[in-house]
Amino acid sequence: MGSELGIDPIAIDVGRLLQHSAASLYSHLVTRPTGRAVRLAIEAQLSATSRTSLSMIDLSEVAVIDFSCADEVVAKLLMRFLQEDRPGDALFVFRGLDVGHHEPIEAVLERQTLLMVTEGSDGQCGLLGTRSDEEQHAWSVLESRGRIDTTEVASVFPSEIHRHALDELVLRRVAFASPDAGGYHALSTLLRDAHA
């Protein structure tokens, strides 16, 4: 279904980018210049497609990430693709986060009021960052259903506040609304469909 919706899946291994970076030969994201080099490499990869990309950002080979690199690689990347003049149209799912990654990433997300989708080692997706209770509810319902057709929205979300929250999730790029096929799609469903 991903291709039917005009979405290109792109896998980005941050550990591999880090190893090929001139700034570092290690699996540690601990300086701002290193983080910036990795983010620019990701942006270059994403700008190569003219379609919407669903980018799986894999941090599993990154042993250490500090606050400056969490800011460069995660927060600035997300912010760049929220802007009107973004280099491409990209959605993100982050995987391979371990306990040591959570504190710096969550801190920079909260500072910038950003939100991201994460995929755990069990394949289940969750949200990390700032969100309202209504956004969490709307995301959880969409995640459990996978897709909500436009004609179903009012019955699934009788409350206007939850319908508004669903649209906010699309604007915050943690859910996808298809302009052609209609309906709302969980990013986890798009990932599964892209690899089916």
pLDDT, tens digit (0-9, with 9 covering 90-100), for 115-136: 999 999 898 999 999 999 999 9
Whether the CB-CB separation of 31 and 23 falls below 8 Å is answered with yes
Number of domains composing the chain: 1
Quick one: pLDDT at residue 95? 95
Single pTM value for the model: 0.90
Quick one: pLDDT at residue 25? 47
Quick one: pLDDT at residue 146? 96
Calculate ∠ Cα 72-67-94, nearest 5°.
60
In sequence order, the 6+-apart residues with CB closer than 8 A to the CB of 85 are: none
Residue 24 has pLDDT above 60, yes or no: no
Q: Is 2 a domain residue?
A: no
pLDDT band of residue 1 (cuts 50, 70, 90) is: very low
Quick one: pLDDT at residue 27? 61
Q: Is 139 a domain residue?
A: yes
Q: Is 70 a domain residue?
A: yes
Q: Is 1 a domain residue?
A: no
Q: Is 78 a domain residue?
A: yes
Calculate ∠ Cα 15-106-191, nearest 5°.
55
- State whether residue 62 is helix, strand or coil: coil
Residue 18 has pLDDT above 80, yes or no: no
Q: In terms of residue numbers, what domain contains 42?
A: 7-194
Ramachandran region, residue 129 (left: φ > 0; alpha: ψ -120 to 50; beta: rest) = left
When pLDDT is averaged across residues 47-74 and rounded to a whole number, the result is 89
Residue 181 has pLDDT above 80, yes or no: no
pLDDT band of residue 194 (cuts 50, 70, 90) is: confident
pLDDT band of residue 2 (cuts 50, 70, 90) is: very low
Which of 41-50, 72-81, 140-149, 182-191 has the lowest average pLDDT? 41-50
pLDDT band of residue 26 (cuts 50, 70, 90) is: low
Q: Is 36 a domain residue?
A: yes
Please name the amino acid found at residue 19. Answer: Q
pLDDT band of residue 108 (cuts 50, 70, 90) is: very high
Quick one: pLDDT at residue 99? 86
pLDDT per position as a tens digit, 64-94: 889 998 999 999 999 999 998 887 889 999 9
Quick one: pLDDT at residue 28? 66
Task: Give the span between the Cα atoms of 38 and 192, in whole angstroms.
Answer: 26
